[in-house]
Structure 1
Amino acid sequence: MARHPYSPEERKQIFARFITAANQIMEEKGVNAVTIRQVAELAGFKSSTLYHYFSDQDHLIMYASMKYFQEYNHRLAVYITELRDPYLRFRATWEFFCDSAFRHPDAFYRLFFGRYRDDLEEIIRVYYEIFPDELQDTDPIVQDMLQHGSILQRNMSIMKPLVECGMVPAGQVEVWNEIIVHCFQVLLEEKMRYGDEVDSTALIERHQCYISALMERE
């Protein structure tokens, strides 16, 4: 006798189990150790079932990588609540983002520069439908950032206050946006290439220096 179709709530629970299983493997063995078979087995399902929820292994890893992204969002929301200066908030946002990214460079690269980067906005939406509790007590600026998948769009959203206060010329904001994001991508790729041989703190400081030089601030 064929099994009855899963209810929407059951599908959410299964979706969550696959994501949790993939993230567990990433934590224990690294992102390159994630396979469809191992994730399905750990979640308690057949590999064929997993393909009803994810297009392929990379698609699954995108969702599993959101756990690290959520950790960043939570830490950032706690810290920037006390910051009122738009420049300091902008720098703090990037400082925390770089810190989280350099802790999990492969995951962040896949999220923002990988194969499914153009689907990130939809992935973010679905992820928080599955794990709504992770959105609690999120700062309004962080919530606005979560509306955008593209890293260029995300950075543009947090640059708006800098344009409004005259720190960033409106006519140059798109160029400055691309420069800041490109600098981050170069540093992230350096971290991926050299791992622990390169100091993450030094990479963060370099990115902060790029921002300072661009905006002519100490």
Structure 2
Amino acid sequence: MDKKNIQRIRIMQYFIEATVKIIKEEGIENVTIRKIADLAGYNSATIYNYFQEVSHLIFFAAMTFLKEYTDALPRYIAQGNSPLEKYILIWECFCKYSFAEPKIYHAIFSSDLGGQPEDLIQKYYTIFPTDITDLPEELIPMVLESNLTKRGRIALERCVKEGYIKEENAEEINEMATLVWQGMLTLLLNKRRNLSPNEAAQVVMNYIRQIVLNANHFEFPARQ
């Protein structure tokens, strides 16, 4: 990497770190361009030389909070003895961490990111590559995908290939699981359900297990 790109990444990191600090101290809803610029030591206009949209900068800052989830993910799937169990465990891990930080996960997976949001996660990991250096190779394609529906389909792929999920049922299972998660996240954000993160995760996981069971006509035992 040449010096110009190194300098560019360094300045982007300054802005991201400033945004993270504001999120931790004031909440993601209180992030403003002026606050970011003042904290980073640059003028507000400079931010747009590095980030196409303000929402992109908030996205990158929110991504730093995802490391706890990506660190936990290998431990979760290690408990599974089959692709189907691992698929369920991937969702369990995601529900646990996303419902504990609904605003963060909304910023990453649900918010309006303006133009060209598709490559943002991959771009983030070029700036902070050490965040996923310990991930097993099998998880990298899913983690690098920014579209939640596509992430879910990647997670389901081994189940299809090894016959645990019928090919004709895969899209439906994936879509329903994604929508259940999205619905619960919206309810939590809007304070329409008085549930703890753990309670919300249990509700969603019960539905996801039922979705898999009903689509494939076999019983999958609930985890405690």
The normalised TM-score by structure 1 is 0.90
Task: List gaps (5 residues or longer) in structure 1.
Answer: 1-5
- Asked if 1:210 is matched to 2:207, the reply is yes
SS of equivalent residue, structure 1 residue 197: coil
Task: Measure, in 2, the Cα distance between the counterparts of 1:120 and 1:69.
Answer: 17
Offset of residue 186 of structure 1: 0.4
1:141 counterpart = 2:165: no
Query: What is the Cα deviation at residue 117 of structure 1?
Result: 7.8
- Structure 2 residue aligned with 1:78, among 75, 80, 101? 75
- 2:58 maps to 61
* Distance in 1, Cα, partners of 2:81 & 2:42: 48
Of the three residues 185, 195, 200, the one matched with 1:198 is 195
Select which of 181, 186, 201 maps to 2:183. 186
> 1:121/1:146 Cα in 2 relative to 1: closer, same or farther (>3 Å)?
farther
Q: For 1:194, what is the secondary structure of its paired residue?
A: coil
Query: Letter of the aligned partner of 2:177 in structure 1?
Result: I
* AA of the residue aligned to 1:211: I
Deviation at 1:22, TM superposition (A): 0.5
2:13 — aligned with what? 16
**Aligned mate of 2:165, from 146, 168, 172:** 168
Residue 149 of structure 2 corresponds to residue 152 of structure 1: yes
State which of 82, 101, 114 in structure 1 corresponds to 2:98.
101
Once residues 172 and 194 of structure 1 are traced to their aligned partners in structure 2, the CA distance between those partners, rounded to angstroms, is 33
Residues 28, 196 of structure 1: CA spacing in aligned structure 2 closer, same or farther, 3 A cutoff? farther
Q: For residue 172 of structure 1, report the CA deviation from its aligned partner.
A: 1.5
User: How far is the alpha carbon of 1:118 from its aligned partner?
Assistant: 7.5
Distance in 2, matches of 1:154 and 1:118, equals: 20
CA contact (8 A) 1:18 1:40 kept: yes
1:132 alignment counterpart: 129
Instruction: Report the CA distance between 1:70 and its aligned residue.
Output: 2.6
More helix by share: 1
| CA separation of 1:25 and 1:195: change in aligned 2, threshold 3 A | farther
RMSD (Å) for aligned C-alpha atoms: 1.9
Stretches of structure 2 lacking an aligned partner (at least 5 in a row): 214-219
For 2:155, the aligned partner's letter is: I
Please report how far the alpha carbon of residue 113 of structure 1 lies from its aligned counterpart in structure 2 after TM superposition. Answer: 1.7
Deviates more, 1:35-44 or 1:108-117: 108-117
Is the 2:53–2:113 contact (alpha carbons within 8 Å) kept by the matching residues of 1?
A: no
Compute the TM-score of the two structures, normalised by the length of structure 2: 0.88
Determine the C-alpha separation between the residues in 2 that align with 1:28 and 1:176: 39
Q: Which residue does the alignment assign to 1:3?
A: none
Inter-partner Cα distance in structure 2 for 1:79 and 1:95: 8
**Distance in 1 between the 2:122 and 2:181 partners?**
24
C-alpha distance in 2 between matches for 1:61 and 1:195: 25
Verify the 8 A CA contact 2:53 2:114 in the aligned structure 1.
no
